[in-house]
Amino acid sequence: MAKVNVLVLRGPGTNCDQETAFAFQQAGAVTSVCHINALIRHERRLVDYQVLVIPGGFSYGDDIGAGKVLANELKLKLGEDIQLFVNNGGLILGICNGFQVMAKAGILPDIRQPAGPPLTLGTNDSGRFECRWVHLVTDKKSPCVFTQGIDSMYLPIAHGEGKVITDMRGLREIKAALYYTDESGNIQAGYPDNPNGSMNNIAGVCDATGRIFALMPHPERYIRFQQHPHWTRKKLKEHGDGFIIFQNAVKFARSK
């Protein structure tokens, strides 16, 4: 069986790296948690991995905007390495702060088309940090590798700047892969089902290849049934809804 190597990137303020690494380990990957400086100093090389993950947290304290400092580091110091990684068929997953980073670094909506529609993440419409569980549905037409075989999910969110913002061109062209919904599956549901006011209720976006994907909810926080808030009252599957995202990534990388 082919070995799948996953690099989980961390920096000052990252706080979901270990949980994300564990999720990939449980899915069968070999994971390495790596400080961004190790990549910048070429102590680690992206070409040695099949999957790059930018996990959640508050990189550099989100001091000048969520994910902005880390995004600048990726763009200015590692831009060529990331472009080569993508051109060679690598997968990139961004979770919460990772989504903010990827959007502001230009990795999404499409790293190969920097003149594409604008995409960023703004302050929640509520004006406060939102921390709760949300219902999600996937876009069945999406090419996203990570969401294949998934219809719906129930995952936790925890962010203050999760509102997907784009323009009219972006709403037409950006490839949404995941939407906030209410319990009945309505993807036009408002707050609190859409916890941040995200345009078109978008919770996750992928690129045209489906290999680059970012989402605001935290799949790594629900890979076991015991992590569900009602696990003592409901009969649940062994694995949580988020686990298949990691399984899909490992399966795809192993097939290449």
Are 39 and 46 within 8 A, CB to CB? Answer: yes
Separation of alpha carbons 109 and 92, rounded Å: 12
Q: Do the bridges between strand 212-215 and strand 202-206 make them parallel or antiparallel, or are there none, so unpaired? A: antiparallel
Catalytic residue numbers read 96, 218, 220
Q: Where are the alpha helices (DSSP H) in 93-135?
A: 97-105
Helix axes 79-87, 68-77, angle to 10 degrees: 80
**Looking up tokens 């995952």, which residue turns up?**
155
186: CB partners within 8 A, 6+ apart: 193
At residue 114, what is the residue type?
P
Task: Give the type of residue at 126.
Answer: S
The answer to whether 240 and 225 are in contact (CB under 8 A) is yes
Q: DSSP characters for 121-168?
A: EE--TTSS-EEEEEEEEE-TT---STTTT--EEEEEEEESS-EEE--H
